[in-house]
Structure 1
Amino acid sequence: MATAVTDLRGMTDALLTECKVQNIRDVDQLTEALASPAARKQWADKAGMPTQEILTLANRADLSRINGVGGAFSDLLEAAGVDTVKELAHRRADNLHQKMLEVNAEKKLTMREPTPAQVEDWIAQAKTLGGKISY
């Protein structure tokens, strides 16, 4: 089951209103809606937000399509320097896992750290899914 848009960090009341208008309920639908630069510009104008914030939200929604990446793990990936599905697909699992452990030790973003197998699975999913956001 896809993550609800209401659970996505960075979602504002104005964006939630636009989601309701467009009947967007989950991150899969939101990723599709925000896939192009032109679409993100329209949403930014409607919400009164910078386009870069909409892009950040779109990337976060795109990452949330990966099973097991949500909430805290999404934040941890971002803090470790991975903020897109395309970027995740090109990472080495051992290096990324180590970086995530280091970041979590410093920032305490998750109570439970991801296992090496989880990170490998996320990378495999990212390679299969591909990123839906265009730049």
Structure 2
Amino acid sequence: MANRIDEIEGIGPSYSEKLHQVGIDTTDDLLNMCGRREERDELAGKIGIDADTLLKWTNTADLFRIRGIGRQTSQLLEASGIRTTLDLRDQDATALSQKLHEINARKRLSKINPSPRVVQHWIEQAKKLEPKIT
């Protein structure tokens, strides 16, 4: 199930409207239209945003494909160095869970600390997903 585009951190009403004008209303729309660098560069010019910011949003949309990962959890994963489902699939669940707990204790990005079991479920989902960002 696709999330609304404004659920991504940094996409407020202004950018949400600009994205809507080019046909992007959901995280799936963003992934489908910004998976390739050329597409991101073109769209960045159209809506007046830096291509690196657009890549960050696209990476977040990619993580949103995992059931159980939303805005707060994606921020926590990003703080740990996990930016995409491709990054997530090669992680050790116990080690990543511990790292997320440590980061969250310092930065307080999420209300929950994912257990190794939850992280393992994310990893299993990530392994089944086709990479969408190049």
Identify the residue that residue 52 of structure 2 maps to in structure 1.
52
Instruction: Give structure 1 stretches of 5+ with no counterpart.
Output: none
Report runs of 4+ in structure 1 exceeding 3 Å deviation. Answer: 12-15
- Kindly report which structure 2 residues correspond to 1:75-90, keeping only aligned pairs within 5 A, or say none: 75-90=75-90
- Please tell me the root mean square deviation across aligned C-alpha atoms, in Å: 1.4
1:43 Cα offset (Å): 1.4
Task: Measure the CA separation in 2 of the matches of 1:55 and 1:72.
Answer: 18
Identify the residue that residue 39 of structure 2 maps to in structure 1.
39
Identify the residue that residue 120 of structure 2 maps to in structure 1.
120
Task: Measure the CA separation in 2 of the matches of 1:17 and 1:105.
Answer: 35
CA contact (8 A) 2:16 2:25 kept: no
1:110 Cα offset (Å): 1.3
**Count of residue correspondences:** 134
Task: Measure the CA separation in 2 of the matches of 1:29 and 1:51.
Answer: 17
Identify the residue that residue 70 of structure 2 maps to in structure 1.
70
1:36 Cα offset (Å): 0.7
Identify the residue that residue 24 of structure 1 maps to in structure 2.
24
1:117 Cα offset (Å): 1.2
Task: Measure the CA separation in 2 of the matches of 1:58 and 1:87.
Answer: 14
Kindly provide the CA deviation profile for residues 65-100 of structure 1, in whole angstroms up to 9, marking residues without a partner as x: 111001111110001110111110111111111100
User: So what's the TM-score if we normalise by structure 2?
Assistant: 0.92
1:12 Cα offset (Å): 4.5
Name the amino acid aligned to 2:84.
T
CA contact (8 A) 1:14 1:47 kept: no
Question: Relative to 1, partners in 2 of residues 1:40 and 1:13: Cα closer, same or farther, differing over 3 Å?
Answer: farther
- How much identity, in percent, do the aligned residues show? 35
